[in-house]
Chains A and B, each alone.
Chain A
Amino acid sequence: MTSMLNVKDLRAYYGQVQALHGLNFQLNEGSLTTLLGANGAGKTTTLRAICNMVRSTGAIEFEGKPIGTRSTENVVRLGIAHVPQGRGTFTTMTVEENLQLGAISRSDKKNIVADIERMYDHFPVLKQRYTQQAGTLSGGEQQMLAVARALMLRPRLMLLDEPSFGLAPLIVRDLFRILGKINREEKVTILVVEQNAQLALELADQAYVIETGRIVMSGNAKDIANNEDVRKSYLGY
C-alpha cells in the first residue's frame, strides 16, 4: 500500500502557544483513518495544519509533493477536502448552491450537474430540500450537506472534523455508514477526527491516539480498540 499523506515533525502554534509538538503520521491510499483524543489534545489543530489554516512547521507531503507552504485554497485544489468543525455551511445560500460551491475550483464543469445528482442519491434528504436555504436545515442535514459539499470537489483525501458533534446517535450511525460507503466505493481516503471513539474505531482501519499535541499510540483500529488504556480512557469500559 502506498502512502498518500506523509506528515513529519509537525508543530503548530497559536500566537505564542504551541499546540502540536512534533507529530509524525501517515495515511495510506484508500484507508479510513481516525485520530482520537480528548478535548484540547490537538486533533482539530492537526487538520487545520494540513490545510495551512494555522501557523506550523514541519514537512507535509501529499502524493509526494510538499504542501506545507501552499495557501489553504491551493491545498484544497490538490484534492484535499476539509469538513470543518461546525460544518461551515453557507447558511444564506440554497442547498444546491452549497453543492455548487463544493465544486467551484473544478475545471470539468460539465460533470458537476451529474455529481450533484450523485450526491442526492447518497443523501436523499438533500434532494427534497435543494431550493431551501441551508441555514434552515437541521443539524444532521447540515452535516450531510457538509460532507456532500466536500465530495463535490471529487477529493482524493477527505478530512472530517468531529462529524458526530451535536447529532443524535441514530443520525451519527447513518452518517458513518455513508462515510464507509464513500471510502469503499469512491476510493476516497478519509481522515476523521472524533471524540466518539467507539464508533470511529468500528469504522476505521487505522487509528492514531493523540494527547497534548503528541501521538501516543498508533496502529490497526481493532488492536487499538482492544488496548486496555484506550478502553479505559476513551471507550469508558
Chain B
Amino acid sequence: MELFANQVLAGIATGAIYACMALAVVMIYQAIDHLNFAQGEMAMFSTFVSWQLMQWGIPYWGAFVLTVAFSFAAGIAIERLLFKPLAKAPILTNVAGFIALYAIINSVAGLIWDFTIKQYPTPFGSSPFLGSQLISTHQAGMIGITLLMLVMLFFFFRFTRVGLAMRAAASLPESARLVGINTSWMIALGWGMAAAIGSVAGMMIAPVVFLEPNMMLGVLIYGFAAAVLGGLTSPFGAVMGGFLVGIFENLVGTYIPGVGNELKLPIALALIITVLVVKPAGLFGRPIVKRV
C-alpha cells in the first residue's frame, strides 16, 4: 500500500509536467480547433531564449517575465505571418503547416544553441518537499504554478470582456462577428496566449528534463494525451488529465511486469484510447452533438 501511495505521489510529480503542457494545448485548441504539433518546439525555443537571457546576466524572474512577453508576441507573429493566410485552406494543409513549423524551429534552435544538453536553473530549489524523497520543491513549485495559471485562465475567460469575446469567437465565429468581434484577431490572441503558457511550461519542465532542442518531443505527446483525456474543451480537465497520465504511467511501470521505459508510452496511450472509446469527449469535456 505504501508503494502504491508513493508511486501515485511520484506520478503526480511527473504529471505536473504534462499538466503544464496540456494547458497550452487546450488554449490553442480553444482558439483554432486544432492541435498544434509545433507547440512543444515553440515552448522549447522560448525556454532557450530565457536561458540565453540568464547567460547575459539577467536574474531568473526578469528573464521569466521577458520570455513570457516575447513568446506572447512571437505566437501572434507566427499566426499573422504563417497561419492567417492558411485560414481558408483545408484542415490537413494546416496540419502540414504545423509540421513545417516544427521542422524549422527545431532546426534553428539546434543551429543557434547546438544539441548538447544544458542545465537549467529552478527558482524553487531541488531539496525534498516536506521531507518526501519522491517530490522535490521544484516539482511542488511547478504544481503550484500550473494551478495558478489554471485559476488565472478561469478568471480571464469567465470575468473579462476579452475572455468572453474569445470564447464567443471560438464557439460560433459567424455569430461572434455579428456582435462586432474581430474573430481573426481573437485567433491571433489565442496563439499568443498559448505560446506564453507554453513558455512557462517549458521553463518549468527544463530543470527536470534538461535543456536541449528535442526536450519537448515526449512531453508534447503526453501533453496531447492529457488534454484529450481530460477533455479538449476544459482547462481544468487538461490539468487533471496531466496528473492522471503521470499516475497511469508510474503505476504501469510498477505493477505490470516486463514493462521497461520504452513500453510505458504505448501502454499509457492505449489506456487513454480505452478511456476515449468509452467517453469520447474526455473525462471533463462537454459532449458535442452532431447535427446533419
Contacts and interface: CB of A to CB of B under 8 A. Distances in A.
Given A100-B164, A101-B168, A73 B174 contact: no
Interface string B155-180: 00000010011011001101111111
Contacts of B175: 84, 88-90
Contacts of A11: none
A182 to B, nearest CB: 18
Contact of B178 (A84, A91, A93, A97): A84
B93 interface: no
Tell me which of B172, B175, B180 has the highest count of chain A C-beta atoms within 10 A of its own C-beta. Answer: B180
Contacts of B181: 73, 101, 104-105
A53 interface: yes
B180 A73 contact: yes
Contacts of B286: 92
Contacts of B180: 73-74, 76-77, 104-105, 153
A96 B46 CA distance: 39
Contacts of A101: 164-165, 168, 176, 179, 181
B177 A92 contact: no
Nearest to A78: B180
Sort chain B's interface into a size bin.
10 to 19
Contacts, number: 63
Contacts of B161: 100, 104
Identify whether the interface residues of B are mostly helix, strand, loop, or mixed. helix
Interface in B153-208: 161, 164-165, 167-168, 171-172, 174-183
Nearest to B177: A72
Contacts of B183: 73
B177 A73 contact: yes
A153 B180 CA distance: 9
Contacts of A51: 178
23 contacts: A53-B174, A71-B177, A72-B178, A74-B180, A76-B177, A76-B178, A82-B178, A84-B174, A84-B175, A84-B178, A88-B172, A88-B174, A88-B175, A93-B167, A100-B164, A101-B164, A101-B179, A104-B161, A104-B165, A104-B180, A105-B179, A105-B180, A105-B181
Interface of B: 161, 164-165, 167-168, 171-172, 174-183, 286
Interface of A: 51, 53, 71-74, 76-77, 81-82, 84, 88-93, 97, 100-102, 104-105, 149, 153
In order of increasing CB-CB distance, the 10 nearest A-B pairs are A105-B180, A88-B175, A76-B180, A72-B177, A77-B180, A73-B180, A73-B177, A82-B178, A73-B182, A101-B179
